Structure 1
């Protein structure tokens, strides 16, 4: 075998009837229409273990099998082809998975999988809630957004570190010595690795909490201070999600992007009104130049920030 994930001490039904294995799959995977060929040259086998929130299963049908399903409820299936061959028929194409390849099946995707007579596979079942928790932990996506992995065959060598981790999890699940806390930790590492190693529809917008990132945003605001700058524009410029952007401003400025931009505009207006070499003719012109169209509200904000009205700042400059 190219990958020994479960050892002989597992709950293995070696030589079991293929239909016994298929019944087990239907009970533990979901409602399927499983079609088996009439002849069989190999024995069916099954090994199954729970490891925290992960469900680990190694099986072979012992005969050519076709599995058709409308979906997998709220479970993602990571399928490793250990031996033989699997064909995944999609609406407009097919994916061929020889031994040494794997893919991740999404809960909402209809399945049409055909396994060769000698095929043996290892499955990791991952509840959707676990992937959602990983995204919340890393602040990657909104909690309501469904994760959809690209249906692309990968080779085992592309995920060596994940295979090592899965082998360790299998050994711990077999030993019965792992604590729930240990298995929960392994589960988090597995889900995080899947999100960072495989292709999917989610942009991993990890919050950029370091100072240089914030400084670039401040520079962008200063360079465009006379324009109407929105949080969405800052998000696009920094390639951060809106949530990550707000976290960045909260960490570095203790305020929201909108309030920060407004304060910067007020500072520029104050500098223009108090600059002794400036050529400002009136307060209204400066306020409008920096996007303050409600002059009464502008005066209130200015006085709150600098302790005087904008007209008083201008008078002080003229009297100097």
Structure 2
């Protein structure tokens, strides 16, 4: 395993009662467009941050000592997880509210503002994963082209199952990287650990590609399913029928539907609708609202009934298409 410069961890810590100094620290270690504002009397403000950067991931243990509001604009280049170690956190992202605590993490995608109400007694792990790293992980594991940004679930369980294992791994990694002579101080070992955090997150967080990436299940998807997926990704706007897709696959409609349910998790037409919605969402999220309108984008992605499209979009993303476009102003 080759060792690269990014495989060497960098540990930075700060303790301060100065709000501006804490804000500058968080901007430097995590995101530039970040605001931290105390709520009420800031006299008890006592920021504590231990942050380690290791290539494509940044892991920090953060607390403020006083109630604060944190606002962050589009992350753009990263996915992010907040996992409280104690206390709780109110979070709103893309119209969805999550109450994060030691039993549940909050998850953020690259697009969409983040609003946090962070009590003074809440200490948490803040995990930043570079967008390309997580998308590469899923892309390598799947037999299909993924849609970027990934449509991750807004939260996951920390008390049981994979979430519990992943959070334990992150806690141990952070502890080891903050120490001076642990195993993780070896760049080769640190790189392996970093890759485990990224791949573990891909397996833990909800995404639209089934319960588990096919490449991590063992057998690869059958050729009939792969052929159908390729056709839909090549022309997502095309008005495919179930019979059309079965003809592409070279099997009957019922056979193809059963194969999709087994290997993809949804029917072929449900997958196609989701693919189109993802495409519209991605285009609206990066478009100039003064140059495009929702109807044009929807038609371009194959939606001919705007009323049904708007309902399906809101059901998937929690906001209307026009609201997604307005957020870019």
Question: Is TM more than 0.5 here?
Answer: yes
Work out which of the two has the higher radius of gyration on C-alpha atoms and give 1 or 2.
1
1:231 equivalent to 2:239? Answer: no
- Residue of 181, 186, 189 corresponding to 1:182: 189
Residue 168 and residue 35 in structure 1: after superposition, are their counterparts in 2 closer, same or farther (change >3 A)? closer
Unaligned runs of 5+ in 1: 1-9, 218-227, 242-320
1:201 equivalent to 2:222? Answer: no
Deviations 1:181-234 (A, max 9, x none): 3333222222222222221223345158759x86999xxxxxxxxxx7322867
Contact in 2 for aligned 1:73/1:108 (Cα 8 Å): yes
Residue 40 and residue 139 in structure 1: after superposition, are their counterparts in 2 closer, same or farther (change >3 A)? same
Contact in 2 for aligned 1:52/1:180 (Cα 8 Å): no
Contact in 1 for aligned 2:82/2:124 (Cα 8 Å): yes
Deviations 1:134-157 (A, max 9, x none): 123212541553212111353344
Corresponding residue for 1:60? 63
1:167 equivalent to 2:171? Answer: yes
Residue 157 and residue 145 in structure 1: after superposition, are their counterparts in 2 closer, same or farther (change >3 A)? same
Show the 5 A alignment for 1:120-139.
Answer: 120-139=123-142
Show the 5 A alignment for 1:85-104.
Answer: 85-90=88-93, 92=95, 94-104=97-107
**TM-score, with normalisation over the residues of structure 1?**
0.59
1:32 and 1:21 map into 2 onto residues whose CA distance is 11
Contact in 1 for aligned 2:166/2:204 (Cα 8 Å): no
Residue 11 and residue 190 in structure 1: after superposition, are their counterparts in 2 closer, same or farther (change >3 A)? closer
Contact in 1 for aligned 2:86/2:122 (Cα 8 Å): yes
- Residue of 69, 80, 91 corresponding to 2:72: 69
Corresponding residue for 1:155? 158
Contact in 1 for aligned 2:34/2:70 (Cα 8 Å): yes
**TM-score, with normalisation over the residues of structure 2?**
0.57
Aligned CA-pair RMSD: 3.3
Contact in 2 for aligned 1:51/1:169 (Cα 8 Å): no
Deviations 1:91-144 (A, max 9, x none): 655322234431211111211111012221211110011112212321254155
Contact in 2 for aligned 1:78/1:123 (Cα 8 Å): yes
Residue 144 and residue 153 in structure 1: after superposition, are their counterparts in 2 closer, same or farther (change >3 A)? closer
Give the 3-state SS of the residue equivalent to 2:149 in structure 1: coil
Deviation at residue 13 of structure 1 after TM alignment? 2.8
Unaligned runs of 5+ in 2: 1-10, 226-245, 265-329
How many residues of Structure 1 are paired with residues of Structure 2 in the alignment? 222
2:223 and 2:38 map into 1 onto residues whose CA distance is 62
Show the 5 A alignment for 1:1-320.
Answer: 11-30=12-31, 31-37=33-39, 38-41=41-44, 43-90=46-93, 92=95, 94-142=97-145, 145-152=148-155, 154-158=157-161, 159-174=163-178, 175=180, 178-203=185-210, 204=212, 206=214, 210=219, 229-231=247-249, 236-239=257-260, 240=263
Deviation at residue 89 of structure 1 after TM alignment? 2.9
Decide which moves more: 38-47 or 117-126: 38-47
1:196 and 1:84 map into 2 onto residues whose CA distance is 26
Contact in 2 for aligned 1:130/1:191 (Cα 8 Å): yes
Decide which moves more: 68-77 or 149-158: 149-158
